[in-house]
Chains A and B, each alone.
Chain A
Amino acid sequence: QVQLVQSGAEVKKPGASVRVSCKASGYIFIDYYLHWVRQAPGQGLEWMGWINPNSGATMFAPKFLGWVSMTRDTSISTAYMEMTGLKSNDTAVYHCARGIDHTNMIMDVWGIGTTVTVSS
């Protein structure tokens, strides 16, 4: 079945970097965009951006430009999201999600999330 398996929880100090992985299975990796969405504790969903696994093209919400990057390794059907210069308010659960439909912007399968805690 279609699955997105994410890497484990991370604890980082302010100013550090973190990389979260998202391994896809059960479908052709390069055929669907992957989105990243975060959810701070007790808060709502925040769309961060997407990567086109076929071309490597990316798009980010403005607040994530310049300090978040998204890459992929098609040989192992895995996408990565890296954040630099972490702040305490980046503490959140980070989900990857597959984009479907001709728009690629509807998210039908979600990873269970990776908890990133930023604390001194």
Chain B
Amino acid sequence: DIQMTQSPFTLSASVGDRVTITCRASQSIRTWLAWYQQKPGKVPKLLIYKASSIESGVPSRFSGSGFDREFTLTISSLQPEDLATYYCQQYDSDPYTFGQGTKLEIK
């Protein structure tokens, strides 16, 4: 199985900050990576797919980048509603593993 490791586990930042979450794969997944946002008590929401393609309706402050084994999700200017846990998921090969999640807190 491909292991997905996110860092940090938790992140505390202020409104307006630029925030970056990293996801590393245990082997190459090319660009077959998605990012999901899960707000407390809600279902996951697709943000980014194919490493850098933004899903329709997602605010432009979210962006993704990376290739091969290392990927990042960036929020250019943190908003209060971005309080959530963020998950990366590889879909290069089954099983389509998720990272353990990064919990983003607002200071």
Contact = CB atoms under 8 A, between A and B. Distances in A.
B55 interface: yes
A103 B91 contact: yes
A107 B44 contact: yes
B43 A112 contact: yes
B98 A44 contact: yes
Contacts of B96: 35, 47, 61, 105
A46 interface: yes
Contact of B95 (A47, A103, A110, A111): A47
Main SS of chain B's interface residues?
loop
Given A106-B46, A111-B43, 9 more contacts: A35-B96, A44-B99, A45-B87, A47-B96, A95-B43, A97-B44, A106-B91, A107-B36, A113-B43
The 3 A-B residue pairs whose C-beta atoms are closest, nearest first, are A61-B95, A105-B91, A110-B43
Main SS of chain A's interface residues?
strand
Contacts of A97: 44
Interface of A: 35, 37, 44-47, 59-62, 95, 97, 101, 103, 105-108, 110-113
Contact of B49 (A45, A61, A101): A101
